[in-house]
Copies of this chain bind each other. A is one copy, B any other.
Amino acid sequence: MNKILKLNTRDKNTLLKTPFISSLGPSALAGMLEIATVTNYEARDLLFREAEPAEYFYCVLNGYVRLYRLNKDGREADIRICGPGDVFAECLLAVGDQYRYNSQAAENATVARFELQKVRQLAEQEMDVAKAIIQCLSNYLQSTMDCIANDRLQTAPQRVAHYLLDNCPAEGGSASIRLPFQKSLLAGKLGLAPEALSRAFSSLKRAGVTVRGRVIQISDISALRQI
């Protein structure tokens, strides 16, 4: 069982910088901090399983958390990779009383969690909380729609190129990127099997992309845009 802790100063400072919390006025902020608890997870720990009764919504403070579904054969598909500042299970503030996917720490992770019932009450009193919820639902809905469009329109090399370009400086001919997580997590994020990701990286060699561990060198950003 993971220890549930009150916020320490470092956690609190991290939380204050997350998009959800940073948008709140003083009274809504105090209300949210009051009900926040912090939990540390080790890599591969489950936070919750699909169909379990939903009690909390979550904000990642450190590390990465996978949200994924299983099919009846036990095959997994990632729906989202949440990193520092990301909020998840926020839908449940409005809809449903069961988690809708599995959630697993992809590496050591620290998350803040908030009891759904208490946040619902707070949102009734504090328009700021309702607004922050609308803001983060909207942001995440947009990126989820992007994900559907990219899955449906892009080949595997295009998905990888798109990810790299999103994480490159806009200017300059070449770039070096360090993946913030393992390549297996990038594969899941892009909806690719690990072998498909490897093949995609191989085919991007022609466009000047070389991979060494987590470090990816891009010799010609404009060539990557042509993929």
The interface of chain A, by Cβ under 8 A from chain B, is 67, 69, 71, 75, 77-80, 90-96, 100-101, 123-124, 127, 130-131, 133-135, 137-142, 144-149, 151-154, 191
Copies in the complex: 2
Which residue of chain B has the shortest Cβ distance to A130 in the bound complex?
B130
Residues from chain B with Cβ under 8 Å of A137 in the complex: 94, 134, 137-138, 141
Residues from chain B with Cβ under 8 Å of A77 in the complex: 148-149, 152-153
CB distance from A126 to the nearest CB of B (A): 10
CB distance from A127 to the nearest CB of B (A): 7
- Is the beta-carbon distance between B141 and A140 smaller than 8 angstroms? yes
How many angstroms between the C-alpha atoms of A71 and B133 in the bound complex? Answer: 31
Which residue of chain B has the shortest Cβ distance to A50 in the bound complex?
B149
- Given A93-B134, A94-B134, also A145-B144 (CB < 8 A): yes
- Is the beta-carbon distance between A79 and B141 smaller than 8 angstroms? no
- Is the beta-carbon distance between A101 and B134 smaller than 8 angstroms? no
- Is the beta-carbon distance between B151 and A152 smaller than 8 angstroms? yes
Write 7 A-B pairs (CB below 8 A) sorted by A numbering.
A69-B149, A77-B152, A77-B153, A94-B131, A94-B138, A124-B127, A130-B131
- Given A71-B154, A124-B127, A127-B130, also A144-B138 (CB < 8 A): no
- Is the beta-carbon distance between A134 and B130 smaller than 8 angstroms? yes
- Is the beta-carbon distance between A148 and B149 smaller than 8 angstroms? no
- Is the beta-carbon distance between B142 and A91 smaller than 8 angstroms? yes
